[in-house]
Structure 1
Amino acid sequence: MTNEFEKLLEEYLGKEEETQLQRGQIVKGTIVAEDDNNYYVDIGYKIEAILPKEEVRQEGKELKVGNEIEAVLIKITNKLQNPKLSLKPLKIKKLTEEIKSAVGRFKPFEATVEKVIEKDGKKVGYLISIDGIKALVPAQEAVKEHKVGDKVKVLILNVKQRGKQLRITASEKKLEEEERKRLIEKYKKQIKEGDIVEGKVIKIDPNKGITLSVKKALRGFIPIRELSWGRNRNPFDYAEVGERLKAKVLGWSKDDAFLYLSLKQLKPNPWENVEEKYKVGEKYTARVVGLIDKGVFVELEEGVEAYVPKTEIAWNIVPEHPKDLLEKGQKVEVVITRLDKERKRIGASIKKAQPKPWEAYYDNHPAGSVVKGKVTSIENNRVIVELAPGVLGFVTKGNLSWLPVKNIEDVVKVGEEREFMVLGLSRDQIRLGLKQLQPNPYEEIKEKYGEDVTVKLPVIGIVKGGYLLQFENGVEAFMPKKEATRRLKPGEEVEVRIVTINPEKQRVVVSMREKEEAEERKFFEEFVSQKATSAEGAGFTLADILKAKLGGKQ
């Protein structure tokens, strides 16, 4: 009888509980006991439900008697058996609701890559697990390539319900963008124009500039024009990848994507006090930074350059191109010739900073010195000679030879090197002579013949105002037409009297008339002398003189 009552009671209570508790139902209860494997939870049922300790440990939780919990009833029978509870379904249900509500919101989830999805050999996405709930990250929504087991953080893009299944799409990239936007808004409140920031160099573009990582998700860019006040725009001269660099904030980009930075703004603009530092007429050290056809750019300091025309590079030398005399990076002395602060222009001269080379040369090679030089050109009856760098000499046609020169090329030729005698200094050139290295043939004539001597010379030419005759050593003599007693022809020899010999002026004047008059004077003097000593006495007539001159003929 008793057994039947218990059986009926059990059936009754089972039916009553079935109407109150169902499998899958969320229940609340209190832990009333525990053993090595389970917690015993009072959920208002005829007997306690059990919750496996292993599951609790897997969830990373610790429970004890007296704790209230919420769980899902996963097993219940009509028999007097303990119902079974689980935390997992409840967790998944709550997580599912969280995921659904996270669409369009900034709610990051941590997940694990479970599978790399490929199609036709191409990676198309990743299957991830968000605490047991599967989601898809398309390849274009990943920030990098992943492998199975990688931990990722994502935002939920969308959730679609298909029957009992959820199709969840997530994105790493969207999370990164949203995090960056939030950080940028924070940074914009902290970083202002004019601030000094420091960052790590992550990229150098020789044509654009330097990119820095300033803070998390914040980059800075230094354009090449902001590297220096000077002309050196090679970013590799200012930084290396991995190096930390300080720069001044110029502002934010239009899309707030990055900071515009400047290296040169860390230093004052050198043009602000340029008039105090540099004076016209003063000499300064500079460095050659640019060479163009018409001149040279030299750097006085970073950001301050001066222009030197090629006519101002060297004394007496105007190069075809400045590179013939200078090279980039070379240090030079310059004299400031003009300064315009407003237009940021400075004119300078290299040659004015150097001693005048011809003066120094003349000091070492005074008049009378014999020097070597190279004939560089023949211009306007002058021979131009290069004596040293920046030192030119010239020889006039009259100083080429003691004898008349018809063609200069017969005496010297362009390109030949030979000796010259220094005659003096003429402005910025050395006056030279070639004939001075040889004996003066006019001196020879003077020593050999002297003046008032009768010589026999050939006529070599007829010129305006007279005739040209020539001595045996090539010296020419001039006879004015009035000094000829008859008309002469080239080639005939005549006796003439040397009237003047001037070796310095290279001039010899002769005369037929003077010669004949001298002979007459000599004859008269001899005639008078003879009469004075003869028996006839001193008296004589003009007829006597003519008779004597004609040799006694009537």
Structure 2
Amino acid sequence: MVEEKMSLMDKLYESSLKEIKDGQIVTGRIVSVSPKEVLVDIGYKSEGIISAQEFSASELEVGREIEVYVDSIESDAGMVVLSREKAIKLQGWHRIDKNFRDGDLIEGTVRRKIKGGYLVDVCGIEGFLPLSLSSFRNMADADILNRQFKFKMVKLNNLRHSMIVSRKEAVSKERAEGRDKLWETLKIGEVRSGIVKSITDFGAFIDLGGIDGLLHITDMSWSKVAHPSEVVAAGDKIEVMILNLDRKESKVSLGLKQRLPDPWSDVENRYPVGSKVKGKVVNILPYGLFVELEKGIEGLIHISEISWAKRVTNLQGVFAVGDMLEVQVLSVDKEAHRISLSVKQLESNPWLDVEAKFPPGSQVGGKVRGFTEYGAFIELDNSIEGMIHVSDMSWTKRVNHPQDVLKKGQRVDVMVLSVDGTNRRISLGLKQLTENPWAEIAKKYPLETELEAEVIQVAPFGVFARIDDSLEGLIYSSEIDKDALDKLKPSDKIRVKVIKVDVEQAKIGLSAKV
């Protein structure tokens, strides 16, 4: 009867024990700690023993639950042989294998540098990080060794429990994930911090923390910007507003000026048409001056609005960047961000009474101010200019260049031929100060008069020849032998006769067929 009870108790005890096999990982509880060994209860008929060297100091605590590897169910001493290190490594390998299959990143600690790369502790298992996959360029060893990083498993050997990891691919994946997360948070109209990454002629690229956005030159400032480097520099940390998002094209448009109030919003109230204001010349172009009225507000003085009468062709010869000018507002276009300004409107228009001051037929004095191919400009007073056309410089001579007759700065007397106050034009004449000699010329050189002339110029349509010191005529090409024409040169003497005298047109026609 007693034996039956004992047998029953043994069966009940054995049924309460866990079914444990060699090679298993089981949960145990530390029951005692000695300098060399740690005794662990794994719910088996006898406790297991583990070398104390397999534990860190923080783990050696009685009652602490730990994962252990069953090396042997029963040793020669009748004890269960366990291993803490093997449990950690096996669990680590399972985790490594899962991460490799899932393509996930895993943390590891760089332990030491070896030839061709680094040895990395990943979940208690040593892996190899090739130098080409390290992404540690320009980093000091102190910033690498014994530091934790995330890695991507690129090659696994399950038999040898060996692996190759990549920090480079992990960084790439982290950046991609970071970009995806950032795209989810970006919103049009919000302000973000960014670092100026690079500068081009059309703007600057800003790193928003994994995504680059373009800050266009036109969105840098409300005032005119000649080059982005005037506003930002590479490496600057700036606050920008998101203007537009295009995730499909991976484009982000940014603005700097949009963070500030638009100075053009009430520009019509601050600069009403007709008002007089002061501004600073900030740019000089062939067609006009750009004047800054305030920060972000610029207006244009067109070259035609500089002076009522003086002909200004070289603005840089009259104005300089930085000059302060008083101007009048002509027009304001808030939408186009344009203001038209004028200097001359501040002065009285001298052309209003120009016809009374310079009546046609009157003789006036002036100074030669400049030339064109077709005439000379004469300054009649400080605000009015007139022009002498080349055809009004001589009654008898053909004037090719006005500089042949007049010199810049020379004072001359002229006759006013016509005045157009509306279009601000005065036609002047030099030859009209003397009597028209063509009536006398017609008498002096009647048709068929033969004479010797001097060749001045050979042209495709004929030969210009000097008849006397003050008179030139034209030998028509049809009135000279072609061979003779080809041989002629300036200063040659030629026998001609008069075949036409046009008093109205002030022309005399000649023939070499004598």
Please give the residue correspondences for 1:108-147 in structure 2 after superposition, counting only pairs within 5 Å.
108-112=106-110, 114-115=112-113, 118=116, 126-137=118-129, 141-145=133-137, 147=141
Q: How does 1:6-405 map to 2 (within 5 A)?
A: 22=22, 26=25, 29-42=28-41, 48-57=47-56, 61-74=58-71, 79-80=76-77, 84-103=81-100, 104-112=102-110, 114-115=112-113, 118=116, 126-137=118-129, 141-145=133-137, 147=141, 149=145, 151-161=147-157, 164-166=159-161, 168-197=163-192, 199-214=193-208, 216-217=209-210, 220-241=213-234, 243-255=236-248, 259-302=252-295, 304-341=297-334, 344-353=337-346, 375-376=368-369, 384=378
How has the CA–CA distance of structure 1 residues 333 and 171 changed in structure 2, closer, same or farther, with 3 Å as cutoff?
farther
In 2, Cα distance between equivalents of 1:161 and 1:270: 67
Segments of structure 1 that go 5 or more residues without pairing to the other structure are 1-18, 119-124, 360-371, 397-405, 421-425, 430-462, 465-554
Using a 3 Å threshold, how does the CA distance of structure 1 residues 96 and 386 change in structure 2: closer, same or farther?
farther
Q: CA deviation at 1:326?
A: 1.9
Alpha carbons 1:378, 1:414 under 8 Å: kept? no
Q: Contact (CA 8 Å) 2:280, 2:324: kept in 1 or not?
A: yes
Change (3 A) 1:335 1:94: same
Displacement, 1:287? 3.2
Q: May I ask how many residue pairs the two structures share in their alignment?
A: 373
Change (3 A) 1:113 1:241: farther
Distance 1:331 1:64, change over 3 A: same
Residues 200 and 242 of structure 1 are in contact (CA less than 8 Å); yes or no, is this contact kept in structure 2? no
Q: What's the CA shift string for 1:367-423, capped at 9, x where partnerless?
A: xxxxx9965469999994587xx5568999xxxxxxxxx99x9xx973567899xxx
SS in 1 for 2:268: helix
Shift of 1:80: 2.9
The structure-2 alpha-carbon separation of the partners of 1:210 and 1:344, relative to structure 1 and needing over 3 Å to count, comes to: closer
| Residues 112, 151 of structure 1: 8 Å contact kept | yes
Give the secondary-structure state (helix, strand or coil) at the position aligned to 1:72. Answer: strand
CA distance in 2, matches of 1:263, 1:395: 52
Shift of 1:165: 1.8
Distance in 2, Cα, partners of 1:330 & 1:176: 55
* Alignment partners' CA distance in 2, 1:378 and 1:243: 53
**Deviation digits for residues 181-237 of structure 1 (CA, Å, limit 9, x no counterpart):** 54445445544211223x2534341424344454x5455542222102332143333
State the Cα distance separating 1:319 from its structure 2 match.
Answer: 2.8
Distance 1:30 1:338 in 2: 90
Q: Secondary structure at the match of 1:314?
A: coil
Q: Secondary structure at the match of 1:108?
A: strand
Greater Cα shift, 96-105 or 295-304: 295-304
Relative to structure 1, the CA distance from residue 230 to residue 85 in structure 2 (aligned partners, 3 Å threshold; closer, same or farther) is same
Q: Distance in 2 between matches of 1:20 and 1:274?
A: 87
CA-atom RMSD in angstroms? 4.8
1:525-550 CA distance string (max 9 Å, x none) = xxxxxxxxxxxxxxxxxxxxxxxxxx
CA distance in 2, matches of 1:111, 1:256: 38
The whole-number CA distance in structure 2 between the counterparts of 1:85 and 1:206 is 66
Contact 2:20-2:73 within 8 A present in 1 as well: no
Alignment map for 1:528-543 (pairs within 5 Å): none
The 2-side partners of 1:356 and 1:144 are apart by 75
Which structure 2 residues correspond to residues 400-549 of structure 1 after superposition, within 5 A?
414-415=407-408
Residue 306 (structure 1) shift: 3.3
Residues 252-296 of structure 1 deviation map (CA, whole Å, 9 limit, x = unaligned): 343585743211212344444343333333222233343332333
Counterpart Cα distance in 1 of 2:148 and 2:61:
34
Residues 227 and 233 in structure 1, CA contact (< 8 A), matched pair in contact too: no
Overall identity of the aligned pairs, in %: 25
Q: Secondary structure in 2 aligned to 1:194?
A: coil
- Contact 1:159-1:166 within 8 A present in 2 as well: no
- The one-letter code sitting in structure 2 at the alignment partner of 1:39 is V
Secondary structure (helix, strand or coil) at the match of 2:55 reads: helix
Shift of 1:30: 3.9
TM superposition shift of 1:336:
2.5
Residues 197, 205 of structure 2: 8 Å contact kept: yes
- In structure 2, what residue type is equivalent to 1:323? Q
Counterpart Cα distance in 2 of 1:253 and 1:381: 60
Deviations for 1:457-477, whole angstroms, at most 9, x for unmatched residues?
Answer: xxxxxx99xxxxxxxxxxxxx
Deviation at 1:89, TM superposition (A): 1.2
* Matches of 1:206 and 1:324, distance apart in 2: 32
SS at match of 1:222: strand
Report if the CA contact (8 A) 2:197-2:207 is conserved.
no
Matches of 1:113 and 1:334, distance apart in 2: 74
